Structure 1
Amino acid sequence: MSSLSQAEEARLKAQLQDAVVSCTERCLYQSAKWAAELLNSLPSADDSASVTDVDSPVPASSPPQTPNARPKDAAELRLEARETTKYLLAKTYFDCREFDRCAAVFLPSNLSKSFIYTQSSSPSAKSPQNGKSHIETPTKPAVTEESVQSLSQKALFLALYAKYIAGEKRMNEDSKMLLGPEDGGVTPNQELPGICATLEEWFTNLPQTGRQSQGWLEYLYGIVLAKSKNEKLAIEYLIQSVNLYEYNWGAWQELIGLLGTVEELNKVSSRLQQNIMTFIFHVTTSQELYQTSDQLHTSLSQILSVFPTSSFLKAQRALLHYHTKDFDEAESIFSEILISEPHRLDNLDNYSNILYVMNYRAKLAFLAQLASNTDKFRPETCCVIGNYFSLKSEHEKAVVYFRRALILDRTFLSAWTLMGHEFVEMKNTHAAIDSYRRAVDVNRKDYRAWYGLGQTYEVLEMHSYALFYHQRAAALRPYDPKLWMAVGQCFGKIGKVTSGIRAYKRALVAGSYYDAGVGSSFGSGDMLALGGGVLDPEVLYQIALLYERLHDMQECAAYMELVLAQEEGPDYDEGNSETGGGGVGVTATTSKARLWLARWEYMRGMFQKAMELANELCQDGVEVEDAKALVRDIRARIERDKHEGRS
């Protein structure tokens, strides 16, 4: 992606301005905000104001006269002009959160008139038998084909989107207590079937009308299909939507949520028109799929050259560093974003996770205070405060705030996963499993929730279940050594030793992709991936133990020797200590390997070598008592051999 020419930049600016207006007209406020932020991150975003004099008859806010993305259909323009007053009324209802009233402006009401009339207002409704008013059963009039086809696409979208939001609102109101006995997490949106039927009818009749689709109704149909678990068809309509109108970020977000693998991303990308939005989509989806290659960083740098001050793109860069456990760089970028936009709450839950792992308690306290002062009732704010209480080991308070985040938004992924972590800390394994399961229901790409499920089932000693979930996590993060180590441990527990060895060796390969980090993804501080070519001694030790279970003592001894070799590192030179490879030094794991080797040499009759290893153990200060006992056994055996030799 090369830098834009002046004409291309002017065109991009006009398209983004149109996107802000178009999304706002359809009440897609999050997409409008995203487009407006991207527009203002263009280097020339403020140039037009300075060029136009305040005394000029041309308004300073008028967009440049550059060709737009696509000319509007003349038939659509006539329909929109005819509906102007009704549209303004419907939009004001939507903005006042009267969603059913908004939909009723363009679509038939669900209540029949006989349901409204009472005895006092309609004498004709009085029953001759007892004088009481007779209320007829309300009927739901079908949305006729003529009523839908006579509407502009903008009006139809607004009406159906209002019905969808009204259904979501009722669904949340009807949902049971969070993680309560009746909370199944599957409360349906009752408006989906009606919206789906209306849109199916509209798309079926579209070729006969001769009108051109604008992409907005495809976006809404994609949402409805995804909610109805028809994901394959949803992807098809979302691809159509972004190809027809590429600046609706909401459509891209829905598409990102439906892609679970890099293969699916590449398959979809081949069907998309190549433009700057496709480029941003590819980078964002790759980040969501935990891809962290140099090529991805280069692509992101190219986009940032077009939008140098975009907080959204900077946050994507920070998340890329977060996924590779480069917490210092990720924290630095989020800190810069916070300084430039102190009231921006997007991604603050991710920033608080980083501060939690780095144990930056003061910064996390400041972030919690800042977010609370900005908006107490945002899920991101609740997650930040929950992380702060978790860092203080006040896990009950942390759960309160994560639960509050989920009451505000039951699809907020971070809160489900983090609440699962807190329940693990509180030894409430069943609640932890429920939380993690809800997290993967929201987003199947959340490897932390899969890993959490595996860890929780390990606590319950259900190792076959744990293996399944650890494998799901490792498939999402194939270069995370901790996940492969968990897979290997589960294979060992269920008796599949050979598979366990393969998994541990995969952990060694994965570890070479990471430098020494601050800590693990869960803040435990374990360092599985070590820099400088040093292999993780714990992984090597576990491989050796599995070979011992296979009675392959030669391989076992070889891996035990490898464990000891990690103390000085691969490039250690006795003659020149300055060229040391930066090994791990003496650890509990290397001492256990040294003790095993000492016993192995003793069993083989190599008493001198066994004595050297045992004496080293006595000096290390680890496994000392076992080492001393072994030294006594070796000396006794040597003395006995000498005595037998004399006789």
Structure 2
Amino acid sequence: MAVSFTDDNIKELRYRLEDAVIKCSERCLYQSAKWAAEMLDSLAPINDSDTDPDSLMDITEPPTIPVNPFSLTTDPVEAALEAQEAHKYLLAKSYFDTREYDRCTAVFLPPTIPPVPLSSLSPNPKTKSPISQKGKTKVSSLGGSRGNSAARNPYPRLSQKALFLALYAKYMAGEKRKDEETEMVLGPADGGMTVNRELAALARGLEGWFAERRAQGLEDRGQGWLEYLHAVVLLKGKNEDEAKEWLIRSVHLYPFHWGAWQELNDLLANTEDLKKIADLLPQNIMTLVFHLYYFEEASHIFSDILINFPHRLDSLDHYSNILYVMGARPQLAFIAQLATATDKFRPETCCVVGNYYSLKSEHEKAVMYFRRALTLDRNFLSAWTLMGHEYIEMKNTHAAIESYRRAVDVNRKDYRAWYGLGQAYEVLDMSFYALFYYQRAAALRPYDPKMWQAVGSCYAKMDRLEQSIKALKRALVAGSYCESGSSVDPALEAAGASHSGLGPGASTGRRILDPETLHQIATLYERLGDEEEAAAYMELTLQQETGEVDSPDPDSDENEQDSGDESVHHRRRPGQAYEDEDESEPAGGTGVTVTTSKARLWLARWALRIGDLARADQLAGELCQDGIEVEEAKALMRDVRARREGGGG
């Protein structure tokens, strides 16, 4: 996507980013302020003056500092309120910066007693406080007051800037108390049931405030910050659809708040979700940045960032995940050392080091570092999921289930956690539960063949063979790969082009299907007693050796494809020995594998049963050359010879 900017465009962008740094910092949204500052620093400077800064000429007049037109509050009512509250705002922000959140809130709102349950102070764990029970009841109804005429504004007349700081401090106070109550990660008191007890009051109060604004006709005069906070509160209450609406409203009102875009990104499971809301997003440069952020999957981008900014730890855990999958142990060791030297008490650093130990198969140490990351930040999604993977490796299934559940609590769109839950329950031979979680993962990741293979495997274990076949056929379509420019979805092609596995010599429309999946489908048809279909899929399995297949699954009505992870081996003709392989022939198939040899043996036996002795003899001869199932092949050839000599041919 080519985008050109004039000097005026860049100057306006600089002003807007500068304004975003100031406004996010004023509201204590430090991560968003840092992002805007980094973007501002990355822009090329524009020379507004011909004066050489290194010249020794006397400066007779002080330099004129240009006024940022976007840093001023355009609403006169809001500007007047902000001017009246200026000294109190400085006091409240100083309290926030020193993590005295309740004192920060009390500067603008009447002080209240923090809702800490008395049961947490009691030595008897069976005693439940009525405050605790009341809090749980309130949280379960978050976001349910839309259209409720009883909702009223409980807040005094404040500017939106002051109200946001006070309510955000109230939210942070609740988060701090929640972390204090949960104690040790996955310890006795960490059952995932502890909630932020401020959420219910915040949800009711914000709903009442917005209802009053709507009644006064001021709905379009919001600044985007309280809308963002309302969405965050709704997300904590699992009200994702309504939260998505408020986030879209927030980025319309103030598009340069990156935190709102990140929350919106976490609510989108795939490119289809992005397409659904594309027309609802503002049409500006931030939407372009958001699209680029949503498709970013290249490891070389992280490498360039590390070279230019070696002390940047943001999203470094994602880079370590990529290196882990690639098995790049030296690179992973390097970034682990770099991150530890920069800040060893950052969650990202702990996850990087944990991935390094996991790659070394030191799973106990890996768990220790993932726990440390969660001690620093309970909502750090990567650590919960990665710790679940480690517990699976350690055969601690119950701890893995709890870790994955906590990951899902943080972000219900994390397909890896749903898939991990399916794996854990499959280990426990609880196929019904495993199937449910695999289906959730497949719904979030419909173009990933592994998800559908897992669904098909569960159906097969439950003897639901027809559904298993349908799921495996979907895995075939998702796992097939074809030449760029065919029927692959353009958005998927943009997102996964680096994983397509395509070569320049690929034929148009030619696809390589997963032989293992084809063989599973054939076996299922055999279990159903449909040997004709079983033979057809065994033939398809065999054809993957050369890749000379004109179409994918003939029974599938799916048209979407995605790039697969299978590697392309040298093309090989049936029966051709490895040492005689023609290296000049272009790669296009899998070559002979154990799975294709199993299919060849099945077809040879089937040909013998139906009396096709020539076909059975040919396939048995190829098996002898493959060096796989040689004894079975020789026995088949003896049977063929005996039938021919007995007049059966």
- TM superposition score normalised by structure 1: 0.79
Structure 2 residue aligned with 1:484, among 446, 449, 452? 452
Whether contact under 8 Å (1:529, 1:535) holds in the other structure is no
Residue 426 in 1 paired to residue 394 in 2? yes
Residue 271 in 1 paired to residue 280 in 2? yes
Bigger radius of gyration among the two: 1
- CA displacement, residues 298-332 of structure 1 (integer Å, 9 cap, x when unaligned): xxxxxxxxxxxxxxxxxx3xx2xxxxxxxxxx232
> What residue in structure 1 maps to residue 615 of structure 2?
609
Whether contact under 8 Å (1:481, 1:528) holds in the other structure is no
CA distance in 2: counterparts of 1:565 and 1:201, whole angstroms: 66
CA distance in 1: counterparts of 2:275 and 2:72, whole angstroms: 27
> What residue in structure 2 maps to residue 203 of structure 1?
210
Residue 361 in 1 paired to residue 329 in 2? yes
The structural deviation recorded for 1:24 is 0.9
CA distance in 2: counterparts of 1:359 and 1:95, whole angstroms: 41
- CA displacement, residues 462-482 of structure 1 (integer Å, 9 cap, x when unaligned): 222222222222222222222
Code of the aligned partner of 1:179: L
Whether contact under 8 Å (1:451, 1:483) holds in the other structure is yes
Higher helix share: 1
CA distance in 1: counterparts of 2:215 and 2:539, whole angstroms: 77
Code of the aligned partner of 1:541: H
1:56–1:94 Cα change, 3 Å: farther
CA distance in 2: counterparts of 1:609 and 1:630, whole angstroms: 11
More displaced, 468-477 or 572-581? 572-581
The structural deviation recorded for 1:195 is 2.9
Residue 239 in 1 paired to residue 248 in 2? yes
Whether contact under 8 Å (2:469, 2:521) holds in the other structure is yes
Q: Within 5 A, what are the aligned runs for 1:365-404? A: 365-404=333-372
- CA displacement, residues 606-637 of structure 1 (integer Å, 9 cap, x when unaligned): 33432332232233222223333333444444
More displaced, 29-38 or 565-574? 565-574
1:339–1:49 Cα change, 3 Å: farther
CA distance in 1: counterparts of 2:180 and 2:455, whole angstroms: 41
Whether contact under 8 Å (2:153, 2:205) holds in the other structure is no
1:464–1:361 Cα change, 3 Å: same
> What residue in structure 1 maps to residue 170 of structure 2?
163
Q: Within 5 A, what are the aligned runs for 1:389-538? A: 389-513=357-481, 532=506, 533-538=511-516
The structural deviation recorded for 1:352 is 0.9
1:7–1:495 Cα change, 3 Å: same
Whether contact under 8 Å (1:569, 1:580) holds in the other structure is no
Code of the aligned partner of 2:230: Y
1:49–1:173 Cα change, 3 Å: farther
Whether contact under 8 Å (1:569, 1:583) holds in the other structure is yes
Code of the aligned partner of 2:636: L
1:454–1:147 Cα change, 3 Å: closer
The structural deviation recorded for 1:92 is 1.4
Task: Give the count of matched residue pairs.
Answer: 557
> What residue in structure 1 maps to residue 89 of structure 2?
87
1:260–1:51 Cα change, 3 Å: farther
Q: Percent identity?
A: 61
- CA displacement, residues 179-215 of structure 1 (integer Å, 9 cap, x when unaligned): 2344221312122233334434433443677874322
Q: Within 5 A, what are the aligned runs for 1:81-160? A: 81-110=83-112, 148-160=155-167
The structural deviation recorded for 1:108 is 2.2
CA distance in 1: counterparts of 2:475 and 2:204, whole angstroms: 50
Residue 255 in 1 paired to residue 264 in 2? yes
> What residue in structure 2 maps to residue 521 of structure 1?
none
Residue 172 in 1 paired to residue 161 in 2? no
The structural deviation recorded for 1:67 is 4.3
Code of the aligned partner of 1:36: A
The structural deviation recorded for 1:602 is 1.8
Code of the aligned partner of 2:537: Y
CA distance in 1: counterparts of 2:405 and 2:572, whole angstroms: 51
1:267–1:560 Cα change, 3 Å: closer
More displaced, 248-257 or 396-405? 248-257
The structural deviation recorded for 1:638 is 4.2
RMSD of equivalent CA atoms: 3.2
- TM superposition score normalised by structure 2: 0.79
The structural deviation recorded for 1:580 is 4.5
> What residue in structure 1 maps to residue 127 of structure 2?
none
CA distance in 2: counterparts of 1:528 and 1:21, whole angstroms: 43
Per the alignment, in what secondary structure is the counterpart of residue 353 of structure 2?
helix
More displaced, 457-466 or 375-384? 457-466
CA distance in 2: counterparts of 1:601 and 1:59, whole angstroms: 92
Q: Within 5 A, what are the aligned runs for 1:39-50? A: 39-44=40-45, 47=47
The structural deviation recorded for 1:551 is 1.9
CA distance in 2: counterparts of 1:238 and 1:348, whole angstroms: 26
The structural deviation recorded for 1:107 is 1.9
CA distance in 1: counterparts of 2:455 and 2:394, whole angstroms: 24
The structural deviation recorded for 1:82 is 2.0
CA distance in 2: counterparts of 1:614 and 1:558, whole angstroms: 18
> What residue in structure 1 maps to residue 78 of structure 2?
76
Per the alignment, in what secondary structure is the counterpart of residue 149 of structure 1?
coil
Whether contact under 8 Å (1:511, 1:528) holds in the other structure is no
Structure 1 residue aligned with 2:239, among 230, 240, 243? 230
Any stretches of 5+ residues in structure 1 without a counterpart? 113-144, 288-315, 320-329, 517-526
1:170–1:58 Cα change, 3 Å: farther
Code of the aligned partner of 1:242: V
Whether contact under 8 Å (2:357, 2:365) holds in the other structure is yes
Whether contact under 8 Å (2:518, 2:537) holds in the other structure is yes
Whether contact under 8 Å (2:270, 2:445) holds in the other structure is no
Whether contact under 8 Å (1:368, 1:381) holds in the other structure is yes
Code of the aligned partner of 1:459: V
The structural deviation recorded for 1:391 is 0.7
Whether contact under 8 Å (2:228, 2:250) holds in the other structure is yes
